[in-house]
Amino acid sequence: MSSHTIRDFIPSFQLHRRTAWIAPVFKFAAVGIINTGVDLGIYFLLTRYVNLIGDNEYLSKAFSYSIGVVTSYTLNRNWTFRSNTQSVHSFGLFVGVNLVSVVLNSVLMLLFLDFLRLGEVSALVLVTGITFVWNFLASKFIVFTGSHTSIEVHPIPSQGWKSKLNNHQYR
């Protein structure tokens, strides 16, 4: 008599399909926090402690933001999406996606504040959420298309398949 469990009747890939996007989303958010910290840290370092650029806050911010973008690209490429895409090409796409995000961010703020008359905090939360989704999806499906985080299907073989394999019928 063979004993069966519920796992024998439900393919394991169904749960994996539903949850496979969770880790990259959290990694993407963590990278956003890290690159913001890098941006702010370098900015304050340059404007408060190191007189590398002079008293020019605008140049300091441009430099610190650029380092944040490179940090974000590198972490997302190597950690979030584990991509094997060409670096120069994908970096150009990454910069393009971020430029679209700046425009989207500004247009949505205008729409939410001036036309829909939302409060500032509500508008910021909505715009941040929308641009986060845009950046994540564009990064995953446009920039880092050679990603290793795609959903892979690995169903659990049935007991019959296992016993045939163990009996060397599939060699």
pTM: 0.71
Whether 146 and 121 share a structural domain: yes
Assigned domain for 160 exists? no
Assigned domain for 107 exists? yes
Whether 143 and 98 share a structural domain: yes
The model's pLDDT over 8-52, given as tens digits with 9 standing for 90+, comes to 555 544 555 667 788 999 999 999 999 999 999 999 998 888 877
Q: Work out the burial of residue 107: count CB atoms within 10 Å of its CB; fewer than 13 is exposed, 13-18 middle, 19 or more buried.
A: exposed
The DSSP output letter for 102 is H
C-beta separation of 139 from 81 below 8 A:
yes
Our count of domains for the chain comes to 2
The model's pLDDT over 62-104, given as tens digits with 9 standing for 90+, comes to 999 999 999 999 999 999 999 887 778 899 999 999 999 999 9
Assigned domain for 3 exists? no
What's the whole-number mean pLDDT along residues 138-151? Answer: 74
Whether 108 and 141 share a structural domain: yes
Assigned domain for 12 exists? no
User: Residue 117: pLDDT above 80?
Assistant: yes
Whether 25 and 63 share a structural domain: yes
The model's pLDDT over 47-69, given as tens digits with 9 standing for 90+, comes to 888 877 767 788 888 999 999 99
Whether 62 and 106 share a structural domain: no
Structural domain harbouring 102: 88-150
What's the whole-number mean pLDDT along residues 97-123? Answer: 94
Please report, in angstroms and rounded to a whole number, the separation of the first and last CA atoms in the chain. Answer: 27
Whether 114 and 137 share a structural domain: yes
